[in-house]
Structures are given as structure tokens and as C-alpha cells.
């Protein structure tokens, strides 16, 4: 089976030769450490990739402005990674990038999405938030009129025709959607997280208008895209949970976001898309039933240190498609901790199907190349061992509807 066939079959609890093989990603500093410790440097990383920049693995789309790892994938022979249809699905035209303040160690600048951030000059860490382009109704109405019109004009890449031709001949999974297409995640980019949380109480009408408008806006854009290219899955980006739970209550999710989810997932299903993923960090437990009610079929990354256990989630939601969920902190602890983490989760999850095994986030720089190799080889042994009987089992489950 090729990577596309395997992804579709396995994640749909159908017949597949084995589970997909690959990771979510790494930090730039992680890859550079591994080069020093034995990872063959064939493709290398571009010089502009800083220690704190994400390097995309196989579980996330890796084109556009983000760099995809090639050397780790080649070393382990991972599956071809997920790609996505890359086009401008939010601010168009972009804002002009501008440095507003220049300090000794950092700059304050406006990004092309209109956000103002504080960024270290060595880009060693994540940028700090300052403000977004929307603070009130007037800002929102102006942004809609000037930069959020549901037309593809000015949004498609210059090589769009060639991209469509490549998509038709693909042997890898193709997604449509995130990032910047979530009903909480996108609003945090436009408003700011703290300001948005206050806005839920101080100006709920504006929050609802933004969510409802964006749902219709994306549906209109995706409808035109899907007339030209078919996809295998849709992705929605939220990042709306912390270690102790979601940043808004389940009641607020139901009131503000659930209608938009139902509308959006209904559209995707109507276009033949059966796998609909939500990407969120943190403790997802209180929102899982609402996402399922809203038509979502898959979640990732299942952050262990936020209380997520893929085995317990699988027992509670047997047909929920899942990605990630292996504690990345155990990789730094060494072989014994890695063995315990893998043995307590992976065999059960592989028997249940619909699960892409990988760590629960980007691999950190404190993980040695030796430990990562040990982890991947043990995990791959489990995947191939399970493949001897898992195809038949998953096929029977799919037929029986269990």
C-alpha cells in the first residue's frame, strides 16, 4: 500500500497492511543536535530555521512557509507525509510586515496577518503576543470588508495549475484546512487570547458574528477549491485547551462554537470528506463529546502531561480516530521509561485500529539521537508485529460496525 491508501484505510478502521509510520515534528534545535550525534546530514536544514522553530514531520502538512524534515524520515524510512492544499485562507491581501520597535535583544513587529508580536532577535523562543487586528466591531467590519472576502482572487499560489495536476497523481494523504481555520484558534490570532476570553462576556454578539462569518467564509472558499481538487481529510486548528482543561467552558463551546462546527463538518461530509481532525493541545476531555457531536471524527495530539491517555480515550470513544499520545518527555529519560510508555499504550491501540502512534508534540532538544533511535525502533517493531494480524481484525471491525 502507498502512504495515501494506508492512511485512509487505517484511520477508517479498515483493512491496511500496518499503521502509518512518522512523527508530528521536531524543534530546529533538536535536529541540529542530532546532526552532531549521528543523524546523517543529507538534506540539512535551511540556515533560517532557528532552535525554536518547528520542523514538520509526517503527521503535519509540510509545505508552504514551514520546513519539513527529510533526514529523519529518510533514516527511518517513514511514510510519505501528509500534505495540505496551500492557499491563503484568511487575511487577503496581507498586511505589510513592519518593524515597529527595534531593541537590543528583540523587535516588536507587525506580521502579514496583522498581529503585533515581540520577537527575540535570535528567535530562540516563541514570539510574545502584543495585539491583533480586531479589538471592536469597527475593526471587525473593516477587516471583513477589506481582507476577508470569500473569493479566491489573490489567494491562490502562482503554480496553482501545476499543484492541482500533482494532487491528482498523489500517493500521500492530502488535507484541506488549518492552520488559521479554527473557531477559537483563529479568533485568538485576530483578537488575542486574553482579550478574546473577556470578549466572550463583554461582547458576546461580536464573538458570535466572527465565528459565524468565518464558518460561511471558509465554506465558500473550500467549495471553490474542492471543485478543482479532491482531498482525503479536513483539519481544524484550535489549540484551545490548557493543562487543566479548555479555556472556555463546555457550555460556552455549545453556545458559541457548536453551530459552526455542525455547519462546517456537514459541508465537508457533503463533499465526500470522511476524516475531519481537530488539532488542540492540552486537556481535551471536557470537549471531546462536543467535538464528536459537532461532526469531528479525529483528534490530536493527546498531550500526556495535560492528563490525556489515549488508552482511556479509546475505551470511552471506540471509533474516534486518534494521532499522537506517546509522552515525549519519556524519550529523554532513556530506554526503561520508553519501554514502559510504549508497552502500556501501543499494543492495545494498534489492536483497536484508527490510531497513528507517535509522540504528543514536537520532539524536544533534550532528547538524544540515541534515545530517539531506541524509541523509534521499539515502536516500529510493535507496528510490524501488529501488522501480522491487525489487518484482518480491523477489517472485521469495519464490517461488523463494532
Residue 101 lies in a domain: no
Q: Is the pLDDT of residue 390 over 60?
A: no
Quick check: 250 and 290 in contact, CB under 8 A?
Answer: yes
In the predicted model, what is the mean pLDDT of residues 142-166?
Answer: 96
Non-local (6+) Cβ contacts of 117 within 8 A are: 108, 109, 111, 127, 128, 129, 130
Pairing label, strands 54-56, 67-68: parallel
* Structural domain contains residue 127: no
Which H or E run contains 397? Answer: helix 369-400
Confidence tier at 161 by pLDDT (50, 70, 90): very high
Query: Which residue in this structure is represented by grid cell 503535519?
Result: 60
Q: Is the pLDDT of residue 198 over 50?
A: yes
Q: Global pTM?
A: 0.92
Query: Which pLDDT value is given to residue 123?
Result: 78
In a domain, 45, yes or no: yes
How far apart CA 80 and CA 57 sit, in angstroms, is: 10
Alpha carbon 302 to chain centroid distance?
A: 11
What rounded mean pLDDT belongs to the chain? 93
Tell whether 146 is covered by a domain. Answer: no
What is the four-CA torsion angle of 209, 210, 213, 217, rounded to 10 degrees?
A: 180
In contact, 289 and 298? CB cutoff 8 Å: no
Residue 276 placed within a domain:
yes
Q: What is the mean pLDDT of residues 47-58?
A: 91
Q: Transcribe 175-244 into DSSP letters.
A: EEE-SS--TTHHHHHHH-HHHHHHHHHH-HHHHHHHHHHHHHHHHHHHHHHHTT---SEEEEE---EETT
For residue 67, the domain's CATH number is 3.20.20.210
Total domains, the chain: 1
Domain that holds residue 63: 3-86+152-400
Three-state secondary-structure class, residue 67: strand
The DSSP code sequence of 10-24 is HHTT---SS-----S
pLDDT at residue 65, as a whole number = 62
pLDDT in tens, 250-270: 999 999 999 999 999 999 999
* Residue closest to 393 by CA, chosen among 326, 347, 362: 347
Question: Considering the domain boundaries, does residue 222 fall inside one?
Answer: yes
Q: With bands split at pLDDT 50, 70 and 90, how would you rate the model's confidence at 62?
A: low
Tell me the three state secondary structure of residue 139: helix
How, if at all, do strands 276-280 and 298-301 pair?
Answer: parallel
For residue 379, the SS3 value is: helix
Say if 336 falls within a structural domain.
yes
pLDDT of residue 64: 54
pLDDT digits (tens, 9 = 90+) for 354-366: 999 999 999 999 9
In a domain, 242, yes or no: yes
**Cell numbers given for 29:** 534545535
Longest dimension (CA), the chain: 64
Amino acid at each position: 500500500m502507498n502512504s495515501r491508501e494506508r492512511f485512509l484505510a487505517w484511520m477508517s478502521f479498515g483493512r491496511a497492511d500496518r499503521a502509518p509510520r512518522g512523527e508530528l515534528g521536531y524543534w530546529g534545535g533538536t535536529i541540529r543536535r542530532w546532526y552532531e550525534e549521528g543523524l546523517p546530514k543529507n538534506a540539512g536544514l535551511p540556515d533560517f530555521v532557528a532552535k525554536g522553530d518547528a520542523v514538520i514531520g509526517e503527521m503535519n502538512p509540510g509545505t508552504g512557509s514551514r520546513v519539513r524534515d527529510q533526514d529523519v524520515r529518510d533514516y527511518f524510512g517513514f511514510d510519505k507525509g501528509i500534505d495540505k492544499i496551500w492557499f491563503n485562507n484568511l487575511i487577503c491581501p496581507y498586511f505589510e510586515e513592519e518593524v515597529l520597535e527595534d531593541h537590543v535583544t528583540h523587535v516588536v513587529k507587525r506580521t502579514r496577518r496583522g498581529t503585533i508580536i515581540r520577537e527575540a532577535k535570535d528567535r530562540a523562543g516563541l514570539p510574545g503576543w502584543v495585539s491583533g487586528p480586531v479589538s471592536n466591531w469597527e475593526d471587525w467590519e473593516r477587516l471583513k470588508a477589506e481582507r476577508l472576502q470569500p473569493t479566491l482572487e489573490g489567494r491562490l499560489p502562482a503554480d496553482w495549475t501545476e499543484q492541482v495536476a500533482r494532487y491528482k497523481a498523489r500517493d500521500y494523504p492530502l488535507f484541506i484546512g488549518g492552520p488559521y481555520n479554527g473557531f477559537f484558534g483563529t479568533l485568538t490570532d485576530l483578537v488575542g487570547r486574553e482579550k478574546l476570553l473577556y470578549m466572550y462576556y463583554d461582547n458576546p454578539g461580536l464573538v458570535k458574528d466572527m465565528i459565524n462569518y468565518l464558518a460561511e467564509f471558509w465554506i465558500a472558499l473550500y467549495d471553490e477549491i474542492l471543485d478543482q481538487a479532491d482531498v482525503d481529510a479536513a483539519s481544524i486548528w484550535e489549540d484551545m485547551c490548557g493543562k487543566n482543561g479548555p479555556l472556555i467552558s463546555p457550555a460556552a463551546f455549545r453556545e458559541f462554537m457548536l453551530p459552526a462546527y455542525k455547519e462546517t463538518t456537514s459541508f465537508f461530509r457533503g463533499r465526500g470528506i470522511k476524516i475531519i481532525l481537530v488539532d488542540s493541545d492540552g486537556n481535551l476531555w471536557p470537549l471531546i463529546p462536543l467535538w464528536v457531536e459537532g461532526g469531528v471524527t479525529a483528534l490530536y495530539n493527546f498531550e500526556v502531561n495535560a492528563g490525556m491517555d489515549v488508552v482511556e480515550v479509546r475505551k470511552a470513544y471506540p471509533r474516534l480516530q486518534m494521532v499522537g499520545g506517546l509522552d515525549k518527555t519519556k524519550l529523554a529519560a532513556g530506554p526503561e521509561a520508553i519501554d514502559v510508555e510504549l508497552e502500556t499504550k501501543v499494543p492495545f491501540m494498534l489492536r483497536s485500529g484508527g490510531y497513528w502512534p507517535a509522540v504528543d508534540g514536537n520532539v524536544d532538544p533534550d532528547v538524544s539521537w540515541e534515545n530517539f533511535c531506541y524509541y523509534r525502533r521499539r515502536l516500529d517493531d510493535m507496528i510490524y508485529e501488529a501488522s501480522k494480524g491487525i489487518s484482518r481484525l480491523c477489517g472485521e471491525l469495519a464490517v461488523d460496525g463494532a
